A and B are shown apart, each in its own frame.
Chain A
Amino acid sequence: QKEVEQDPGPLSVPEGAIVSLNCTYSNSAFQYFMWYRQYSRKGPELLMYTYSSGNKEDGRFTAQVDKSSKYISLFIRDSQPSDSATYLCAMSGWRTGRRALTFGSGTRLQVQP
């Protein structure tokens, strides 16, 4: 079983819909939780990060972390065709003893005009 699980999709939604993307994890030592957006054949782009539990909002994007359930979410409001991409969750934490990010496998999102 992978340390970070993410449904690969594809997730297809109509333009304007609210999108919910999720990851589960097993390592309680993770402290930082990131969301990256990756367009086809491009480098991952950092959207936002959250430290520990709670919510964080940035424009149309909201990240939520529930450490008790080991579950994180990214919500996209008023989704646009330009949001069509693969969304990767990533995690890190000094208590893991690692100096790099652990990524989920990514969820492919398609927003239909």
Chain B
Amino acid sequence: DSGVTQTPKHLITATGQRVTLRCSPRSGDLSVYWYQQSLDQGLQFLIQYYNGEERAKGNILERFSAQQFPDLHSELNLSSLELGDSALYFCASSARDALMHEQFFGPGTRLTVL
């Protein structure tokens, strides 16, 4: 158990809908990263937050957004969902920015868009 929690484990929804994925980092970790894992693209970095502030963006679509709250949990919002958004979504946390090489992953949320 990495100490990173994610809810829900599974999510099934329809095209055009909006969903929210939630992540709680390891106790004391300030940095949260979101990744998308699909069969054809592997693990792709989406976005990073550090202590409540957005720090970096990767291959994140404009339909997706995220935030990190004062208690350091983070939410990833996916809107106007398309079939191609079906994937595993992971969050990871690290203690500090400088320790991004020590990222610990949560169990993931499996999103299925029908």
Give me the interface of A with B, judged by CB distance under 8 Å.
Answer: 32, 34, 36, 41-46, 49, 51, 88, 90, 92, 98-106
Contact = CB atoms under 8 A, between A and B. Distances in A.
Given A43-B90, A46-B104, A88-B43, 5 more contacts: A99-B56, A101-B45, A101-B100, A101-B103, A106-B42
B109 to A, nearest CB: 10
23 contacts: A41-B108, A42-B107, A42-B108, A43-B90, A43-B105, A43-B108, A44-B43, A44-B90, A44-B105, A45-B2, A45-B105, A46-B105, A49-B102, A51-B101, A99-B48, A100-B33, A100-B45, A100-B48, A101-B33, A101-B43, A101-B45, A102-B45, A106-B42
Nearest to B110: A41
Nearest to B45: A100
Contacts, number: 56
B16 interface: no
Interface of B: 2, 4, 33, 42-43, 45, 48, 55-56, 58, 88, 90, 97, 100-108, 110
Contact of A49 (B90, B101, B106): B101
Nearest to A43: B105
Contacts of A34: 101
A98 B107 contact: no
Most buried by B among A88, A101, A102: A101
Nearest to A46: B104
Nearest to B100: A92
B42 A46 contact: no
